[in-house]
Amino acid sequence: MAPPLDRRNFLRGATLAATVPLVSSLPAWQATGAPRMIATGGETGLGLPAPAAWTVQPFPLKDVTLGGDGVFAAKRRLVLDHGRGYDVDRLLQVFRANAGLSTRGAVAPGGWEGLDGEANGNLRGHYTGHFLTMLSQAYASTGEAVYSEKIRYMTDALTEVRDALRRDPAVLSVPGRFGTAAENVRGSHQYVDLPAGVLGRLSSVTLSAWVKPTHDGNWARVFDFGNDTTRYLYLAARNANGHPRFALTTSGPAGEQGINGTAPLPLNRWSHLAVTLTGTTATLYVNGAAVGRNTATTLNPASLGILANNWLGRSNHSADPVFAGAFDQTDIWSRALTATEIAELQDRPAAQSSAGPGDVASYRFDETSGRTFADASGHGRPATLRRTWGAPSHPGFLAAYPETQFITLESMTTGNYTVVWAPYYTAHKILRGLLDAYLHTGDEQALDLATGMCDWMYSRLSKLPAATRQRMWGIFSSGEFGGIVEAICDLYAVTRKPEHLALARLFDLDRLIDACVAGTDILNGMHANQHIPIFTGLVRLYDETGEQRYLTAARNFWGMVVPTRMYGIGGTSTAEFWKAPGAIAGTLSDTNAETCCAYNMLKLSRTLFFHEQDPAYMDYYERALCNQILGSKQDRPDAEKPLVTYFIGLLPGHVRDYTPKAGTTCCEGTGLESHTKYQDSVYFARPDGSALYVNLYSPTTLTWAQKGVTVTQQTEYPREQGTTITVRGRRATAFDLLLRVPAWARDGFRVTVNGKAVKGTPVPGSYFTVSRTWRDGDTVRVSVPFRMRVENALDDPAVQTLFYGPVNLVARDARTEYLRIGLYRNAALSGDLLPSLAPVAGKPLHYTTPDGVEFAPFFEGTQDPAHAYFRRAEPQVVFATTDSGVANPARADGTTLLDEVWAAAPFTAKPALVRHVESTVNAWVAEGLLGAADGRKVVSTAKRASYPGGPPAAAS
């Protein structure tokens, strides 16, 4: 059995990498004595105290500007432009609808963000939170007022929404058929409650209403009188065929006596519906014309008795939609109007007709405020506007759907996202967006809204038994709560309310935490992105409580994902779930590497680094950022969608989908964030100012106020193999500059200061320290030579992915089977495989194989069919294009002779390579894997060959 994989050795040996940031930024505080405020963006930005447990601290986005015209700037520009121009009323539509407010004609973006989205739109509101975070980061990074103005507009609107939810529903007055009307916007769950027993024991009746439907949901009621789903009478705007229907029954749906219309009512236009019932005859009218008649009706209101529920717009069948649209003149008579009287109602209100107002009840809907509708029948039967779900349990409640999502979750035992789809996940996104708005722009309304949300959550969750919470958080995916613990801890750092810290602990999922503390891997079969952000929250809980259990769990969890469940681009998961550790080639599919997973793994890596400066965390950061995150953004503008991937298919020939599910998935939400905070992890500093970590090579300028200096990087990395760092300041200042030596940088990493080499030996997978007193204009040149290399899939060494430095290269080819690629043919003494490929003129980082297959950077956001993995084919032992004529033998696990030879690179000179070839050949001959004669041919060929960059053959 193979020895267990160690994450640090893997990252250094297999060459991990990481480069610019991307994560929900936790703005930095310089903690020296009492915490002092650090602006996180803009002139009014606020900040959080850096936890005492952090041994390094990040800088706020406003203090690190992203420059240059490279890949990072280009990708960010696309998202900044999208955010600058997007109409945020579209995002607010679902919130306003839930509160019964005017949606101002806005249309929700669709997909997951809308009433008609997947699973009944049960995740609506999440994208709005992401958008707030994106706007906050954009403002912090650029200072452009357009972003802060959008934030203020949104927090004004959300405050209005919360205030409306706190109150009883109020009439939304709109132009009507005869004056004004009352609209119940779709998503408001509002209906009109008529007085109890309004139908009494009528033997004859006429129901009449002007309606303006705004949605084509079947079975939405105009009238519904009943006790339950057994005894009722209704007039529906649409039946299963979309036509009006009248029915009554005393024995449930099977016993309905009814009439169906013949055509749908038009949307967004006024229509008149009426039904008359007398004796055995019931007649249905649409716009004054009889469209159906039932002459065998044996029931009437008197047959049903006194009914408890008397509603306009709501059904006694709870699964039926609430009527969406407007009501005008609505009347009930205790007799059957004639066809002439019905026709007369088309042109004038009932009070001006020969029939007169309904003698049972008559509502003109002339009200422009309040929640009560006057009765003009003379009987004093006012109607009341209500919500189907009542009122929030706490005044801090804020969501784009009813609180019933949260209430229902408390009794669920298995997940069903069509009923409940991760309400606390959605709450997290909204909370995070509001908190970021406050931290980056100082918006006090945002803080008030965020505080209220946490107060509301505490009021619900603190009342639940611990066993109930454990069951809830273990449910896929209804119990998913995202990174809510991190956000609550960040809010607690602002409010210091004990209830907020207590709330954060109410999300503990003990089964998972305890397993990770013990180092027991239980991830197989678990939903990846449901659980990754939990651990970032646990680290923040450690910060606030000091409980080692939380930090240990997070650290051990990270090692269960990296490298054993990590694809070459840094992503993880298959169809959103984890498989067994080490399963890479065996899990390749069209649904690998959900982009949210990379986003959250980056955030976790960053947060862990604050506690332990293990370079492996930043090596991983560079890998995932420079490859999956950059490659998740399509390289073209779009005003409508952010154009970000959901899954990254890694099967051969996969074409990336940049518009999944109409553009508002979780991954497009995190994508908005990822591409507006590239700079958030480039630099970290020790709290006392004694050291500056340069984690990522990126064209950025750091304003380090504590030291009175700016630190600027000029580079086109990852297209450039290094960076130039310039320190500027009015006075000399001492600090250590710690430069990350990527794990893959195994040869040639060099540092000069003002043109002079810095002493010391850079070690791959570590930090190289430059200690000096820095003076204005000091220039550091960091050379990070790239080399071409492969990484093997852990479960099949012949399945490989290609890297050049930090950049994953993918083959662009429409074939859908594994490409067979050979790369040892002209390998350099350094082990660099680049000489076996040909550069493509005018296209940086593009190369072709001898048989014409083009490799290109994964980070290029194109829709070309791509092969992230290929099957390595080295049939012959060849050195520097010199063929030995010997077939390349392989071990049972697929490792070939040439693999073992080149695994020892770099070689100082040709003789070192030849000696290693001889020893390797002797071992293979001794094991019976290679014949002695063929072994001699291999060694002879190694001696004769002239290697790229090496001495000529004669010199050997």
Q: How far apart are CA 393 and CA 456, in angstroms?
A: 8
Q: How far apart are CA 952 and CA 910, in angstroms?
A: 9
Q: Which residue type sits at 365?
A: F
Q: What is the mean pLDDT of each run of 10 residues along the chain (956 residues)?
A: 38 34 31 30 56 96 94 98 98 98 95 91 97 98 98 98 97 97 97 96 97 97 96 98 98 98 98 98 98 98 96 96 98 98 97 97 97 97 97 98 98 96 98 98 97 98 98 98 98 97 98 98 98 98 98 98 98 98 98 98 98 98 98 97 97 96 93 98 98 98 97 98 98 98 95 98 98 98 97 96 98 98 96 96 97 97 98 97 97 93 94 97 97 98 90 39
Spatial contact of 456 and 397, defined as CB atoms under 8 Å apart: yes
Using a CB cutoff of 8 Å and minimum separation of 24, what contacts does 541-548 make? 541/485, 541/489, 541/504, 541/505, 542/53, 542/611, 543/51, 543/53, 543/54, 543/489, 544/51, 544/489, 544/492, 544/493, 544/501, 544/504, 545/501, 545/505, 546/53
Torsions phi, psi for 86 (to 5 deg): -75, 140
Q: Which two tokens stand for residue 341?
A: 């009287």
The topology (CATH level 3) of 402-678 is: Glycosyltransferase (1.50.10)
Spatial contact of 412 and 421, defined as CB atoms under 8 Å apart: no
3-state secondary structure 740-783: EECCCCCCCCEEEECCEECCCCCCCCEEEEEEEEECCCEEEEEE
Q: Rounded to two decimals, what is the model's pTM?
A: 0.93
Q: Which two tokens stand for residue 622?
A: 């560079």
Torsions phi, psi for 527 (to 5 deg): -75, 120
Provide DSSP, 203-257.
Answer: SSEEEEEEEEE----TT-EEEEEESSSSSEEEEES--TTSS-EEEEESS-GGG-E
Our CA dihedral for 762, 741, 720, 610, rounded to 10 degrees, sits at -150
Spatial contact of 884 and 937, defined as CB atoms under 8 Å apart: yes
Report which of 513, 581, 526 is spatially closest to residue 552, judged by C-alpha positions.
513
Torsions phi, psi for 585 (to 5 deg): -60, -35
Q: How far apart are CA 413 and CA 488, in angstroms?
A: 26
**Residue with structure tokens 């160690």?**
6
Residue 465: which residues within 8 A CB-CB, separation 6 or more?
none
User: Which residues partner with 133 through β-bridges?
Assistant: none
Dmax over CA atoms of the chain, in Å, equals 117
Q: How far apart are CA 740 and CA 751, in angstroms?
A: 11
3-state secondary structure 708-731: CEEEEEECCCCCCCEEEEEEEECC
CA distances from 432 to 87, 429, 439, 934 (A): 21, 5, 10, 65
3-class state of residue 461 by DSSP: helix
Q: How far apart are CA 596 and CA 629, in angstroms?
A: 9
CA distances from 188 to 72, 217, 239, 602, 949 (A): 42, 14, 21, 38, 72
Report which of 439, 626, 501, 432 is spatially closest to residue 58, judged by C-alpha positions.
439
User: What per-residue confidence (pLDDT) applies to 32?
Assistant: 29
Q: Where are the domains of the chain?
A: 174-387, 402-678, 874-956
Q: Which residue type sits at 398?
A: L
Please give the angle made by the CA atoms of 58, 59 and 64, to the nearest 5 degrees: 135
Q: Are strands 383-387 and 683-685 parallel, antiparallel or unpaired?
A: unpaired
Q: How far apart are CA 694 and CA 687, in angstroms?
A: 15
Helices 498-505/444-461 angle, 10° precision: 60
Q: How far apart are CA 780 and CA 753, in angstroms?
A: 4
Q: What is the DSSP letter of 42?
A: S
Q: How far apart are CA 58 and CA 407, in angstroms?
A: 39
Provide DSSP, 860-873.
Answer: S-----EES-EEE-
Spatial contact of 19 and 697, defined as CB atoms under 8 Å apart: yes
Q: Which residue type sits at 615?
A: P
The topology (CATH level 3) of 174-387 is: Jelly Rolls (2.60.120)
